[in-house]
C-alpha cells in the first residue's frame, strides 16, 4: 500500500509494497522486480483536494444474505456471491461512509440491473445491502456493464461537483472495481483503492488486481489512511 499525500503525477517513490501487494511482490523474480522498479511502477500517484467516495455493487448478488454462511452455501442461493470475504469488507465500507458523510464528501453507489436469471429471493440480488443503505441525496445508479462509469452519468456528476479524486470501494476487486479504477484514471481523476474495503470471490485475483492497480492507475491505501484523508477534506 502507498501513502495519500498529494503529488504532482507519479513522481514520488512509494514505500515497498505492503499488505496484499507484498505477497505478489515477493512472488516476482528479481528480474521482474527490477522491471517494475526501472519502469517507475508502484510510485505514489497522490490524491487531490476534492474527493468522492464510490461504493461499487455491494449488493446481495455479491454478498449473499447471511454474513456467517459458508461461501458455497451462499453461492447455492446467489451464484455470484463472494460470501465471507464480502462481509469482512462491509464494516470497513461502513466506516468510510460515516467518515465521508461527516466531512461532507460526496458519495456515489452503484448496483446491478435486475436479470431474470438472478435471484429475487430471499433478498433481491441487486439490492444494496442494508448495512450500506444510501442516504437521500447520494448518487445511486444501476449499471449494465462492469465499469461504474459506463452509461451511468457518474463522470458528469463528479465533474459537476468539482471532484478530482475517487476513493474506490466495493466489488469485485478484479472486476467492477478494477474497471472503475481504470475508467476514473481515463477521466483524469486521481484514485485510491482501500484495501480492506474491496473484496473478491477468491484471494488470488484480489491480490493480483490490487497489485496491478497500484502499479498503474491508483494508490492502494489502508482503511486508516483513507479515514484520515476523508476527515481532512
pLDDT recorded at residue 135 = 97
pLDDT recorded at residue 200 = 98
Whether residue 112 contacts residue 126, with contact meaning beta carbons closer than 8 Å, is answered with yes
Would you give per-residue pLDDT tens digits along the chain (233 residues)?
544 433 334 445 556 677 889 999 999 999 999 999 888 888 899 999 999 999 999 999 999 999 989 999 999 999 999 999 999 999 999 999 999 999 999 999 999 998 776 666 678 899 999 999 999 999 999 999 999 999 999 999 999 999 999 999 999 999 999 999 999 999 999 999 999 999 999 999 999 999 999 999 999 999 999 999 999 98
At what angle are helices 20-27 and 203-216 packed, to 10 degrees? 90
pLDDT recorded at residue 16 = 66
Apex CA 155: angle with CA 150 and CA 157, to 5°? 125
Cα–Cα distance, 103 to 53 (Å, whole number): 11
pLDDT recorded at residue 115 = 74
pLDDT recorded at residue 30 = 94
pTM above 0.85, yes or no: yes
Strand 219-221 vs strand 139-143: parallel, antiparallel, or unpaired? Answer: unpaired
Helix, strand and coil percent figures for the chain, each rounded to 5: 40, 20, 40
Whether residue 152 contacts residue 111, with contact meaning beta carbons closer than 8 Å, is answered with no
Show which residues are catalytic.
Answer: 176
Number of Cβ atoms within 10 Å of the Cβ of 140: 15
Provide the CA 81 distance to its chain's centre, in angstroms.
Answer: 17
pLDDT recorded at residue 134 = 98
Cα–Cα distance, 104 to 99 (Å, whole number): 9
For the beta sheet containing 219-221, the strands, ordered from the edge strand earlier in sequence to the opposite edge, are: 139-143, 107-112, 51-56, 165-171, 190-199, 219-221
pLDDT recorded at residue 10 = 46
Amino acid at each position: 500500500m502507498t501513502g495519500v499525500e498529494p503529488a504532482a503525477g507519479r513522481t514520488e517513490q512509494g514505500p515497498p509494497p505492503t499488505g496484499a501487494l507484498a505477497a505478489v511482490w515477493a512472488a516476482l523474480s528479481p528480474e521482474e522486480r527490477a522491471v517494475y522498479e526501472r519502469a517507475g511502477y508502484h510510485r505514489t500517484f497522490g490524491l487531490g483536494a476534492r474527493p468522492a467516495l464510490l461504493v461499487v455493487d455491494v449488493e446481495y448478488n455479491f454478498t449473499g444474505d447471511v454474513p456467517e454462511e459458508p461461501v458455497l452455501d451462499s453461492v447455492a442461493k446467489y451464484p455470484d456471491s463472494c460470501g465471507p470475504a464480502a462481509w469482512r469488507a462491509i464494516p470497513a465500507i461502513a466506516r468510510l461512509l460515516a467518515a465521508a458523510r461527516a466531512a461532507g464528501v460526496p458519495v456515489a453507489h452503484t448496483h446491478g440491473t435486475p436479470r431474470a436469471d438472478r435471484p429475487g429471493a430471499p433478498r433481491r440480488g441487486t439490492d444494496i445491502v442494508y448495512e450500506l443503505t444510501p442516504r437521500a441525496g447520494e448518487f445511486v445508479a444501476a449499471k449494465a456493464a462492469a465499469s461504474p462509469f459506463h452509461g451511468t452519468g457518474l463522470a458528469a456528476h463528479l465533474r459537476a461537483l468539482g471532484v478530482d479524486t475517487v476513493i474506490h470501494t466495493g466489488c469485485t476487486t478484479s472486476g467492477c472495481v478494477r474497471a472503475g479504477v481504470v475508467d476514473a484514471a481515463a477521466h483524469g481523476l486521481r484514485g485510491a483503492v482501500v484495501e480492506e474495503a474491496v473484496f473478491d470471490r477468491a484471494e488470488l485475483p484480489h491480490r493480483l488486481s490490487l497489485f496491478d492497480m497500484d502499479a498503474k492507475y491508483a494508490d492502494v491505501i489502508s482503511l486508516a489512511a483513507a479515514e484520515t484523508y476523508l476527515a481532512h477534506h
